[in-house]
Amino acid sequence: MSDQQSSPSSPYNDNVTPNTNARRRWIRNLVLLLSVAITPKVIGIGNSIADDSKAPTTSDEEASQSVSKKSEDKTDYKAISKAEWKKRLTPQQYKVCREHGTERAFSGKYFDSKADGVYLCVCCKKPLFDSTEKFDSKTGWPSFWKPREEAQVGEKTDHLIGYPRTEVHCDKCDAHLGHIFKDAPQTPTGLRYCINSVCLLFLPRDKATSLELKKQARIPSE
């Protein structure tokens, strides 16, 4: 065996031709250029996806913060387009409020709520029902025996399930709310306003701070 051992070959040793080294440098530079060019676009795509995933929801707390502004709200809610409502509402809110859908029984946020306060329209924030006129109908939907006197809801007959029913909607924005049934003899009116929770926002009594809402909620003004 020879005492002289050959050293491992290097990509840049004398055995590699100049053309090979030049080709490797060209490939390495091309990879660097492509990585710089692509990175900003990938970041931009990620931001776009994140923005599109934000659901347009309104919480009860946001309702309490905005209700004082609604007393001077001049918006013509009945003129708002379907596309605009889809931007303002969650898919479930749009399905029920704008397309006359119905939420599943016992699934809504307010069906068994006993909190004291006022229920607003989720679309336009108009006060519609009061908790003092809410009762347990054991049907799985929030039930009221009358709407608020100062916020009458609209009514019309529909035949969506094959027989006539009295549909209830917000008279300010035409949002579908539910139906009226004459099956509550235990109430002062004998009526049951069967309302979808998803159509409502709840405003606790102590958050009814505007002078108009205090009057509607039978709270003495300061």
pTM value is 0.66
With residue 22 as reference, give the H or E element that holds it: helix 18-52
How do residues 23-77 score in pLDDT, each as one tens digit? Answer: 777 777 665 655 444 433 332 322 222 233 334 455 555 655 555 555 567 899 9
Are 181 and 191 in contact by the 8 Å Cβ rule? The answer is yes
- Burial readout 86-119 (b: 16 or more C-beta within 10 A, e: otherwise): eeebbeebbbbbbeebbbeeeebebbebeeebbb
Under DSSP, the state recorded for 94 is H
Please state which CATH number belongs to domain 60-71+80-216.
2.170.150.20
How do residues 179-198 score in pLDDT, each as one tens digit? Answer: 999 999 999 999 999 999 99
Q: Specify whether 124 is catalytic.
A: no
Distance CA(206)–CA(217), nearest Å, equals 10
Query: Which residues are CB-contacts of 12 (< 8 A; sequence separation ≥ 6)?
Result: 21
How do residues 71-89 score in pLDDT, each as one tens digit? Answer: 567 899 999 999 999 999 9
Tokens found for residue 83: 């596309």
| CA angle (212, 218, 222) in 5-degree steps | 65
Q: Which of 97, 121, 194, 199 is catalytic?
A: 194
